[in-house]
Amino acid sequence: MTVPWDAAFERILRDALPLLPEDRALSSDTCLSDHGLDSMATIDTLLRLEQQYEVSFPDEYLTSDTFRTPGSLWAAVAGLRTA
Report angle CA 10, 11, 17 to the nearest 5 degrees. Answer: 90
51: part of which helix (H) or strand (E)? helix 39-53
Please report, rounded to a whole number, the percentage of residues in the chain having pLDDT higher than 70: 96
Give the pLDDT confidence of 37-47 residue by residue, as tens digits: 999 999 999 99
> Which of the four pLDDT bands, split at 50, 70 and 90, describes residue 83?
confident
Distance CA 19, CA 11 (A): 14
7-16+31-82 topology per CATH: 1.10.1200
Domain boundaries defined on the chain: 7-16+31-82
Q: b vs e for 31-67, b when ≥16 Cβ sit within 10 Å of the residue's Cβ? A: ebbebebeeebbeebbebbeeebebeeeeebeeeebb
How high is the mean pLDDT of the chain? 95
